[in-house]
Amino acid sequence: MAKGDTRLVFGALSPHPPIVIPSVGKGEEAAASATIEGLKKLGEKVAALAPDTLIVMTPHGPVARDAYLIQGAPVLSGDMRQFRAPEVRIQLPNDTDLAKKIRDASVASGIECVVFNDPVPLDHGVMVPLYYMYEAGYRGNLVVISISLFDLKKQYRFGQVLSQVVEKQRGKKVGFVASGDLSHRLLPEAPAGYDPAGAQFDQLMTQALKCLDEAAIVNIDLHLADRAGECGLRPICVLMGVLGRYQALPELISYEGPFGVGYAVFFCRISALKTSFAVELAKRSLEHYLRTGEYLECPKNLPEELRHRAGAFVSIHSHGELRGCIGTIAPTKDNVAEEIIQNAVSAGIDDPRFEPISLSELPELEFKVDVLSPMEPVSSVSQLDPCRYGVLVKKGHRSGVLLPDLPGVNSVKEQLRIAKLKAGIHPDDSDVELFRFTVTRYE
């Protein structure tokens, strides 16, 4: 694998109606010919890329409300006997090493994830997508993950964790497949009944997939999704998190709803990791200082988003663990870029919680930059939201700040507790000033 290549080579969405397998459909599959052709094309694309491992996320395996479940048996196998086609069988080796690394990284990020070793037959959410890939010649390893019932933002974050783990797999190519159908209520004769929201949901989702509009998917109206009777929203949110770090080429191969259920076949070829000027500036700033003992000179041709004045935090992680984080809640420099240069160095060598970073560590480190909005006073905790807003707690000369959307911080109570502790304020002390802010995050 050439230097600069990504380990993740594609992300895809596959529907999973058993009827599209000829031995199951027995002629009735002809009504879904566009989906069958789409799945054949998807299978050919996967076989041509020849990933070493496929990660498949299914909504029809064993499901836990508050954890992702990963199958841990050394061999994963299944058939379609439940649909009167026992002759359709697939058996592939489990990439148990990757499964455990996903579990460990997810838990370290505050997202519960469990590897269970009891053999479980592959469900149709896995079997149907695999069928056409297997027919096209795929014979690699498999990792099977069942959805959880976490909120959509946490689904997206889990996708980010997956991509980070995959990128650390030396010399291994990996593909990710989200298994899911769209609305089950497109026609009056649909098994789940009819609701006009079904077509609206499917139009929104297919359009968002075509342009990789992750915000439209993660922030979708949950009432609309519920009315649509979907089963693919959570896997698709994870897919968006997986793809979010990359420059990618999206292709909606096919869409139809012949039986009142929306079937979308989607493929996204990965071309490269996204580059962020802010993140690259933070990396170069710390490296320059460690090599020369001097601060990097601010670049002259700055992108527009770094020309204004604002506070900024630089966070540095090593193998998923925090390695340093320093920031300013209000501007101290002439522009955001200078703020990043200063704080990247401080995060690397001045964070009192950690030993200074060495040059030899730099290749393994991940940088994140948060540019803060102005502080806004808060009169009630009801105005806080740990996913959307960061918080500043003040009492006298003491203050503590916590960024928004942090792993493991899922409630206002927990957000305030941590911010107070950082300020040296007792967690039960309510006589404090509260401020909230938003961030523009680059990672």
The CATH number assigned to the domain holding 306 equals 3.30.700.20
- Is the residue at 2 inside a domain? no
- Would you place residue 4 in the very low, low, confident or very high pLDDT band (cuts 50, 70, 90)? very low
Query: How much is the average pLDDT of 373-383?
Result: 93
273, 301, 323 — which closes off a domain? 273
Query: 127 and 255 share a domain?
Result: yes
- Per-residue pLDDT for 443 more than 80? no
- Is the residue at 107 inside a domain? yes
Query: 93 and 143 share a domain?
Result: yes
Question: What pLDDT score was predicted for residue 442?
Answer: 84
- Per-residue pLDDT for 242 more than 70? yes
What is the per-residue pLDDT across 276-299, written as a single tens digit (0 to 9) for each? Answer: 899 999 999 999 999 999 999 999
Query: 361 and 381 share a domain?
Result: no
Contacts of 391 (CB under 8 A, 6+ apart): 378, 384, 401, 402, 415, 416, 419, 434, 435, 436, 437
Question: What pLDDT score was predicted for residue 303?
Answer: 83
Query: 69 and 166 share a domain?
Result: yes
Contacts of 322 (CB under 8 A, 6+ apart): 315, 316, 354
- Residue numbers of the domain that contains 363: 275-371
Query: 340 and 425 share a domain?
Result: no
Query: 136 and 180 share a domain?
Result: yes
Query: How much is the average pLDDT of 182-188?
Result: 97
**For the domain that residue 403 is a member of, what is the CATH number?**
3.30.1490.150
- Per-residue pLDDT for 109 more than 80? no
List the beta strands (DSSP E) in 94-170. Answer: 113-116, 141-146
- Per-residue pLDDT for 2 more than 90? no
> What's the structural domain count of the chain?
3
249, 273, 297 — which closes off a domain? 273
Query: 433 and 344 share a domain?
Result: no
Query: How much is the average pLDDT of 149-161?
Result: 92
Query: 67 and 36 share a domain?
Result: yes
Query: 198 and 314 share a domain?
Result: no
- Is the residue at 419 inside a domain? yes
- Would you place residue 410 in the very low, low, confident or very high pLDDT band (cuts 50, 70, 90)? confident
- Is the residue at 174 inside a domain? yes
What is the per-residue pLDDT across 327-339, written as a single tens digit (0 to 9) for each? Answer: 999 999 999 999 9
Query: 194 and 290 share a domain?
Result: no
Q: Give the closest residue to 155 by CA, choosing from 213, 266, 233.
A: 233
What is the per-residue pLDDT across 197-236, written as a single tens digit (0 to 9) for each? Answer: 999 999 999 999 999 998 899 999 999 999 999 999 999 9
Sign of the C-alpha dihedral computed for residues 325, 327, 333 and 338 taken in this order = positive
- Is the residue at 71 inside a domain? yes
The two three-digit tokens of residue 293, written as one number: 């003992």
Q: In the chain, what percentage of residues exceed pLDDT 90? A: 83
**For the domain that residue 243 is a member of, what is the CATH number?**
3.40.830.10
- Would you place residue 36 in the very low, low, confident or very high pLDDT band (cuts 50, 70, 90)? very high
Query: 412 and 344 share a domain?
Result: no
- Per-residue pLDDT for 376 more than 70? yes
Query: 260 and 174 share a domain?
Result: yes
Q: Lowest-pLDDT range, 13-27, 131-145, 160-174, 249-263? A: 160-174
348, 371, 394 — which closes off a domain? 371
What is the per-residue burial (b if ≥16 Cβ within 10 Å, else e) of 167-184? Answer: bebeebbbbbbbbbbbbb
Axis-axis angle for helices 197-210, 233-243 (nearest 10): 10
- Would you place residue 3 in the very low, low, confident or very high pLDDT band (cuts 50, 70, 90)? very low
Question: What pLDDT score was predicted for residue 268?
Answer: 97
Q: Give the closest residue to 401 by CA, choosing from 312, 309, 306, 316.
A: 312
- Is the residue at 130 inside a domain? yes
Question: What pLDDT score was predicted for residue 388?
Answer: 84
